[in-house]
Structure 1
Amino acid sequence: MINLDIGSGTLKKTILAIAIPALFATGTTQALEIYNDGENAFSVGGRIHLMVESANNDGERDLRSEDNSSRINLNFSRVLSEDLVARATLEYGLVNSNGNSDSPFFNRLGFVAFDHADYGSFSYGKQWSTYYTVTGVTDVFWAYGGSAMGVYDNGDKVGTARANDALQYNGSFNNVNISAQYQFADEDEGRDYSYSGALSYDFDFGLNIGATYHQMKRTEDEKLAVENDGDAKLTALAASYVQGPIYTAVTYGEFKNQVQFDGATGVSDKAIGHEGIFAYTLDMGLQLYTGWNYQEDKTSEADLKTALVGAMYDWNDIIMYTEYQDKTTKSIAGAKTDDNRLAVGIRYNF
């Protein structure tokens, strides 16, 4: 699921915008400003996100209560000059906000950035990836989705999701959005390095189109672990369109040595994936939406097919929704597994 909490900065124009309109942004964290003296500012945001899910469990359907990515974030900023602002974000996920946990927090984000009004933004740390600035346009479902574009397949260490140890540049110039990222080595994560780039264009009539490429070089130990000696390579295209109450988006990607299919002991040599969504938001705050996720292994019979449909109501930034997912998985041996889930959830943004 999407996380648009990519930090708050005074010069937001310089930060590469994910092309997701207000009908989805209404569900993002609304940070509360605690302090602002005109030079230094501090805000706190986050959300409690709980849902009840009806799902198959070992062949039998059960009803369970789940925490769905609750979190808290701390945002700092300092004006350095008329055109330059420094900022920092720390975000922690809550492991089990409605129960007990020995380790209730884990780090989601932690980065420092410098935003210039004319030249763009440089940032360093754990942050949403360059790859995600393009592919995130379809990762907007309230409960499920985000499974076909290779984002979350070890995405933090590979660098496609919330990239660890990442140096990044983002800039927007005359409707052209540019992003570039370099990820430093970490032997514990099996990474020698990774790099990526993204380019998108905002048309004046609500259309955004973009392309991105990402590559990660594995260590020798990681090659043995994933049973593949090639670099992870992901190429993706995306388009999104917003006009009044309508939002629609599609993404398509090709993945080498990245994703793992059911029944496989290692990652696939080559796979493709695509995702789509169509949403309509009524004036009363009710949003109706539907979409799909599809992923296919090009070297075997394995695939993943997901259809989604749902409804959301925004009550003063308290999000209430119901969402249904019908998911079919085919293993590399050709065996099919059906998994359908129904979620009813509430998300309190603060």
Structure 2
Amino acid sequence: MKKTVLASVIAGIAFSGQAFAVELYNSEGSTFSVGGHISMGLGNDDNDELEVQSISPRININATQDIGGGFTADVKGEWSVNTLEGGDNSFSTRLGYIGVSHDTWGRAVGGTQWSPYYDVGGIADMPIAFANDFLYANGYELGTGRAERMVSYRKTFMFGDDGGFNLGAGWQGDNAEGGTNYGNRGQLGLSVDLGPFYVGYAFTTGSVSGTDDDAMGNLISAKFGSYGDGLFVAAVYEMGDAFRNAVPMGQAGAYDSISVEAIAAFALANSLNFSLNYESHENDSDSKTIFSQMALQVEYNFTAKFMGYAGYQLDLGNDYADDDDDKYALGVRYYL
């Protein structure tokens, strides 16, 4: 019978994105591992100057403990690593949580974590060089990507050998960041797996200072296949009410928004993976495009842990500036 999603979460606690962590200890129901990845390459900056780049380098520690009764506890700490500059500010927190899981009763997590909203919205956020931007626009406070100070619950209901209904819910308490006060926030993620097919819906809402309306997002997504294994196609559509306020082009203040992300990828048997992705983000309050872009990318696994990547992102224009901002990147990534 197909392993449940929650069982896969426990088995894969040593994973970080596409990375296998190095297991350092496994004895009497306890495990401990270290993971992460470092990328290094060349690309252009905002002034179109060639520079050395590192894309989202990170290091993490992971541990699990069988606590009896079918329950497993796990802990994860993950930090972004400044690989290009020396000095004191070398690490900053990406993830930090404690979770408890059970195949029957589900999974509860507390701390800074990937949110149930991202479970549904992040299905197209796959390539190394250029991928989803709008989900990360407001940092951790809205919880559309990584969410700080969150308590979440997830459970998968299996039907048949290849089908599953996934339920996720999350809550964040009051939080203030950059002069903006974020009130209590709640979110819900629902999705269905049918073999290679997946469809999902996510919702989040909560008060934000500076607007009379709650900052609310509704998101739908769908995909076919698995990234890096033959044909993979995915799309995400988000409708936001007074939701976004910190995206490219320097927009200030919350506004209604419409965001789209889509990707088509095909991986050959030798692991050479070609992808084409498109993203747009619109200020629906003013009916103006804030950014739109398309990227052609290729990735290749020299070994299981050493990957090369190359990509070119074409700026498709916006309604706020005339200058194009095409991007390119070429480099390698090593997974711990």
1:187 CA displacement: 3.6
Cα distance in 2 for residues equivalent to 1:184 and 1:81: 31
Q: Note if 1:239 corresponds to 2:211.
A: no
Aligned equivalent of 1:320 = 308
TM-superposed CA distance for 1:267, in Å, is 2.2
Compute the displacement of 1:102 (Å).
2.2
Aligned-partner residue type, residue 252 of structure 1 = Y
State the secondary structure of the residue aligned to 2:111.
Answer: strand
Given that 1:14 and 1:118 are in contact with CA atoms closer than 8 Å, whether structure 2 keeps it comes out as no
Q: Which residue of 1 aligns with 2:12?
A: none
Match of residue 229 from structure 1:
212
1:153 aligns with 2:148: no
User: Is the 1:15–1:120 Cα contact (8 Å) retained in structure 2?
Assistant: no
Looking at both structures, which has the greater relative contact order when contacts are Cα pairs under 8 Å and sequence separation is at least 6? 1
Q: 1:310 to 1:117 in 2, by over 3 A?
A: same
CA shift digits 1:188-226 (9 cap, x unpaired):
56222110001100112x1000000011212xxx32xxx
**Counterpart Cα distance in 2 of 1:338 and 1:348:** 32
- What is the distance in 2 between the residues matched to 1:15 and 1:272? 35
Q: Distance in 2 between matches of 1:49 and 1:264?
A: 30
Q: CA–CA distance in 2 between the matches of 1:69 and 1:257?
A: 29
1:69 corresponds to which residue?
A: 56
Computed over aligned residues only, the root mean square deviation of the Cα atoms, in angstroms, reads: 2.1
User: Is the counterpart of residue 339 in structure 1 residue 325 in structure 2?
Assistant: yes
Where do 5+ consecutive residues of structure 1 fail to align? 1-10, 18-24
Q: How many pairs were matched up?
A: 316
Residue in 2 aligned with 1:100? Answer: 86
Residue 266 of structure 1 corresponds to: 253
Match of 1:5 in 2: none
Q: What is the percentage of aligned positions where both structures have the same residue?
A: 25
Aligned counterpart in structure 1 of residue 5 of structure 2, from 1, 13, 18: 13
> Structure 2 vs 1, CA of residues 330 and 68 (structure 1 numbering), >3 Å: closer, same or farther?
same
**1:328–1:337: 8 Å Cα contact kept in structure 2?**
no
**Cα contact 2:97–2:112 (8 A) shared by 1:** yes
Partner of 2:167: 178
State the partner residue of 2:192: 201
Q: 2:55·2:128 contact (CA, 8 Å) conserved in 1?
A: no
Amino acid at match of 1:327: D
**1:295 Cα deviation from its structure 2 partner:** 1.4
Normalized per residue, which structure has more strand?
2
Deviations 1:161-192 (A, max 9, x none): 11111000011111001100011122456222
Aligned to 1:253: 238
CA distance in 2, matches of 1:263, 1:320: 32
**Alignment deviations for residues 81-122 of structure 1 (CA, whole Å, 9 cap, x no partner):** 15110111000111x213313210000100000000111100
Deviation at 1:265, TM superposition (A): 2.7
C-alpha spacing 1:27/1:107, structure 2 compared with 1 (3 Å): closer
TM-score (norm 1): 0.85
Separation in structure 2 between the aligned mates of residue 125 and residue 249 of structure 1, nearest angstrom: 29
Return the alpha-carbon distance in structure 2 between the equivalents of residues 276 and 306 of structure 1.
11
